[in-house]
Amino acid sequence: MEAIAVKELSAGYEEQTVIEKLDLSILKGKINIIVGSNGCGKSTLLKSIVGVIKPQNGHISINGKDIAKQKEKVLATQIAFLPQEPICPSGLTVRELVAYGRFPYQKSFGGLSKHDRHMIDWAIQETELEDLSDRKVEALSQGQRQRVWIAMTIAQETDIILLDEPTTYLDLSYQQEILQLLSKLNKQAGFTIVMVLHELNNACRYADNIIGLKHGKLICQGSPCEAITRESLSELYGIEAKLQLSEDKRYPICLEYEVIKRETLLIGCTKKCDLNCKHRKIAPV
């Protein structure tokens, strides 16, 4: 079942088109991870879905409803977006920043309702920030701040969460902490999660659905084993990768890779081979 449907989408900035005639599906109740090289259109796609960028052409629907026909505040009750480098106003505590997630439900007059406070408490609890709730956000570590931003995002009370590179600038342990938190929110609270990741092995480990983009076009989509192959990595990144399956056979792991010389390109194999198929053709670029 689709949470988000993208049809014939073209989008970009001013005169530059970054995404052109893109069709793809975001699976409802799943972790959808977008991969691809820098500048391939990953962030542009997320910004188009939440209405930050107005599409040049095409349609985007959320739960079957065209976003172009919905008011911004109504859309914000259906989908939440955490950009790559959010900015926190100086002096805010954790609880105060999380409360910003209730903005779409605020009226012109009046403070937080009982339900607002309940959702703020729930978000802080889900992200295990109880002991930090009265601390200033600026006094926290980068990993702790990211948990606060995620708490603010889920306090928005939407079914769908979009995150643009949520593990950027985090060390290895904090990367896993954030990804495990998002996985828990998906499995236990039923959130549909869409995120951009650069770490390919993390994407394979946590994704139900991987979307690979290059120059704004869809190169691959499916489960990690379906989407991530030597051929797709060749096309996405220009690398020749050595892959093996995880111990539980659930997802591929990239062990090592080399950059493919510009004068050659891997062409897919039609045989039913393993992840490191050698029955490929070499063709000039």
pLDDT tens readout for residues 106-115: 887 778 999 9
Q: What band does 102 get if pLDDT is binned at 50, 70 and 90?
A: very high
Q: How does 97-107 read in b/e, with b if 16+ C-beta sit within 10 Å?
A: bbbbbbebbee
CA distance 230 to 25: 23
CA distance 43 to 50: 11
Evaluate whether the domain defined by 2-221 bears CATH number 3.40.50.1110.
no
Domain residues of the chain, as ranges? 2-221, 229-285
Residue 99 structure tokens: 């409360």
* Residue listed under structure tokens 């990211």: 146
pLDDT tens readout for residues 201-246: 999 999 999 999 999 999 999 999 999 999 999 999 999 999 999 9
pLDDT tens readout for residues 37-87: 999 999 999 999 999 999 999 999 999 999 999 999 999 999 999 999 999
CA distance 10 to 277: 35
3-class secondary structure, 246: coil
Give the global pTM.
Answer: 0.90
Q: Where are the alpha helices (DSSP H) in the chain?
A: 42-49, 72-75, 94-99, 114-126, 142-155, 172-189, 200-206, 224-227, 230-237
